[in-house]
Amino acid sequence: MSDEMELSKAYEPQEVEKRWYEAWLEQGCFTADPHSEKEGYSIVIPPPNVTGILHLGHVLNNTIQDVLARRARQEGKEVLWLPGTDHAGIATQTKVERQIRDEEGTTRRDLGREAFLERVWNWKEKHGGIIIKQLKRLGCSCDWSRERFTMDEDYSEWVSHVFSELFKQGLIYRGKRMVNWCPVSLTALSDEEVIMKAQRSKLFYMKYEVVDAPGEFIEIATTRPETLMGDVAVAVTPKDERWGKYVGRTVRRPFPEAEIPVIADEHVDPEFGTGALKITPAHDKADFEIGVRNNLEIIDTLHPDGTMNLPDMPEFDGLDRFVARRKAAAKLEEMGLLLKVEEYENNVGYSERADVPIEPRISMQWFLKYPAVDEAKAAVADGDISYRPERWAKTYAHWLENIQDWCISRQLWWGHRIPVWYRAEQVAQLKDAESLTLADMESGQIHVGEEAPSEGEWVRDDDVLDTWFSSWLWPFATMTKLGEESPELKKFYPTNDLVTGPDIIFFWVARMVMAGFHFKGELPFRNVFFTSIIRDIKGRKMSKSLGNSPDPIDLMDKYGADGLRFGLLRTAPVGSDVRFDESLVEEGRNFANKLYNACRLRLMAGGTVAQSLPEVSKLRPYHLDVLQKCDRMAENLTLAYSEYRFNELGSLLYEFLWSEFCDRFLEAVKKDLRADDGSESKAVTLAVFDQIMQRYLQALHPFMPHLTEELSSRMGYVDKGVFLMNEVLPGEPLLADVPDRVSRAEVVYEVAGRLRNLKAEYQLATRKDVRFVVKNAVDWLAEEADVLALLVGAEKVEIDQDFVVNKGTPTAVTNAGEFVLPLDGLIDVDAEKNRLSKEISKVEKEVEKSLKKLQNPKFVENAKPEVVAVEKDRHATWLEKLKQLRELHAALDAE
């Protein structure tokens, strides 16, 4: 081989990965050709937030996508992996607002809308590409020439068009409704943006006096005494024996003092608290519905930021809601109306972004009645879209069965501004209208569209659309301009695979299915793979506060991108959480080194690259065995790919190289590799090595793209200027017909393992001067005796049917014969017996200790079943160990 094919002693991944990624980009290897005659394959990237930086979840998700894209190229397909980022309305606006507050001491309202949005765009241009650069560092083979952003001009046209069309179809309306309100971000949230968290709260028991019966009280339990200033009624179930007699009468609200009615409503749970419920329609969804049914007044006691709005009660006005809670309880106690306070566990809704308790709030919002719900249900139920793991199909179906109208408006400035215009002379009246529908547009009161009408003065709606309203169009709006049928859309839509997290199955996946059917008349993708959640080794979620969330860039600096990719994927089972430990990535790096060193060994052996295998008749069992297993690996990889079992793919690749190729095959042919260049045995072995390694590097490429590209080039397995990533997988196996003698190799490997264990039992593992004598040997063993001796680390394996075996001589009966290990001159028998006696004594103590534990009724009856089971296993292990030691000691006694 030439000097260009030499490999340095150590593999340096950083330099290799940088060089190859730049080469791929320079040659346009990732750019999809929509005019290609090849079969199309496409994935759209789940667009990360433009504010985002790479975390381990991104690494797992995008590595899986890259594996699928690279494999599709190997299958001869034209691949489009379309990347992009999401404008992330709340997250991005919050970052920029914090920046101008900290650096300039000002607010967005001080700047004004246009100036603030200019600041956001500047921030996006400066910081928005960080995660894209990090994905490139990971080796992602996205078509970066088609990178999209949800606020691109072409994409924004789609968003406005879709809003307009849905409004004209009567599916979008505006109305005053109870919504989830974030008091930090000061915007409405959809139900999917609210995270329910278990909380240790307090349940306050208080009493309201019956107006026409002084001294009589209705007892009420609530977790929110700070809202009692907005109470407009007390509700009980109609047949409540305790409180039913008060229905139709009034009670006295403590402060501000007022008489409020006692009403009957079936919604009230008689088992909760006292069975009587204070009704505050402005601050609870259930109370709001009761208020509507009973035509009750609505009193809003909170400002949008969660502070109290009580100008008539100065002692409460402006207080934080939680401070007001404590003050209201103290005031009730002072008035003698607080009965008791109990600890109480309940679920509280938190804003997903701001991580604060949300407030149910009545406000004017835009809503969407979901389109194509039936089609979306049928697509998954009928198998047109496959979910992996399958259990997520039930979660998806349940949500669609219980779907609620989507609150699509947000009280933000950063985002797609709602394309609705009001006549300037009527703007105040129209903004306060109880509802706006298609009829208002048809009457000319409002206009829906990206541009205002040319005649008259118009004022645009202040709100923007929910970020997810733009991303539900992602699969098709990224591929074509509005009003066009681009070649990309024709070639690559619907997409093939979607890889995403189950946490956005409602936010994004289900909505994309509905949008695909409604706007394109077909499903947007065929397969959805939901990735695992990555937790730390203790099972905790990754978080900066816990300090258990390593930076992927640091890991790549330390172990290489390929090491991180392979280490993470090999331990990511379908449908189960991943327990992350840095040692997994270290194993990925070690695996890369193992492969690198194997190839380096081949280069050191010299010779030219073999273009084909020798005749089968020239192949020894070890050649045949490893070739057969390489073919079997390829078949199993194909099956695992079809079932999206990525951890199994990793295990197949790992086990073949480490165990079958390196630990077995290379050890068996070590003498061949060291032979003279003219040796036929060496030529045959090098040819087998080359043919297998070419295929193996190709099989491994989707997982470790940089290393495999480097080795294929340096080994001469691809022509100069040719990329491994573009090579199509071979269609034929290495061995079409496998001779029977292939089975000898497996027998030799198994026997070698038995004999190495026999050496170790007598502390002879490192001794090379041992010999084995074989009786009753199979007829072919003489041909393989030298290889067996090499694998065992023995001086020789000698076949001698007449060998006299002294009583007690170590023996192993195998499928290849009865192997005897003469100990003459190898060990000091007395010293070995003494060592074994001490070891037996230690193990006997462990057996006795374990037995006492198992015979103790308190332990067996009180310990957890799994703990008892572990102890039983431990006892059985010690017994087996004791048996083996005694047999070894007895054998020495017989010497």
Residue ranges of the annotated binding site are: 544
Binding residues for ATP: 544
Which residue is listed with tokens 């061995």? 735
**Chain CA centroid to CA 245, Å:** 56
Question: Tokens for 163?
Answer: 């809003």
Which DSSP string corresponds to 809-874?
--EEEETTEEEE---TTTS-HHHHHHHHHHHHHHHHHHHHHHHHHHT-HHHHHHS-HHHHHHHHHH
The Cα angle at residue 274 between residues 269 and 276, in degrees rounded to 5: 60
The Cα angle at residue 316 between residues 314 and 320, in degrees rounded to 5: 135
Distance CA 174, CA 433 (A): 9
Question: What is Dmax (Cα atoms) for the chain?
Answer: 116
Q: What crossing angle do the helices spanning 130-138 and 561-569 adopt, rounded to 10°?
A: 80
Dihedral-angle region of residue 123 (phi above 0 means left; psi in -120 to 50 means alpha; beta otherwise): alpha
In one-letter notation, the amino acid at residue 339 is L
Query: Which spans in 351-456 are helix H?
Result: 373-381, 391-401, 427-431, 438-442
Count of CB atoms situated within 10 Å of the CB of 638: 12
Count of CB atoms situated within 10 Å of the CB of 453: 12
H or E segment to which residue 261 belongs? strand 258-264
In one-letter notation, the amino acid at residue 167 is F
**Bond before 13 cis per omega within 30 degrees:** no
Residue 516's SS3 state is helix
Question: How far separated are the first and last CA of the chain, in Å rounded?
Answer: 55
**Bond before 494 cis per omega within 30 degrees:** yes
How many CA within 13 A on the CB side of residue 395? 15
In one-letter notation, the amino acid at residue 538 is K
Distance CA 298, CA 288 (A): 8
Distance CA 632, CA 636 (A): 6
> 627: closest CA among 642, 612, 647?
612
Count of CB atoms situated within 10 Å of the CB of 709: 24
Question: Tokens for 672?
Answer: 């061949």
Pairing between β-strand 817-820 and β-strand 771-775 as defined by DSSP bridges: antiparallel
Residue 234's SS3 state is strand
The Cα angle at residue 368 between residues 502 and 85, in degrees rounded to 5: 45
CB-count exposure of residue 622 (10 Å: 0-12, 13-18, 19+): buried
The H helix count followed by the E strand count for the chain is: 31, 30
**Torsion angle of alpha carbons 170, 175, 179, 183, nearest 10°?**
120
Distance CA 520, CA 524 (A): 8
Which residue is listed with tokens 């070995």? 832
The Cα angle at residue 865 between residues 863 and 871, in degrees rounded to 5: 75
Which DSSP string corresponds to 118-184?
HHHHHHHHHHTTHHHHHHHHHT----GGG-EETTSHHHHHHHHHHHHHHHHTT-EEEEEEEEEEETT
**Bond before 389 cis per omega within 30 degrees:** yes
Beta bridge mates, 198: 347
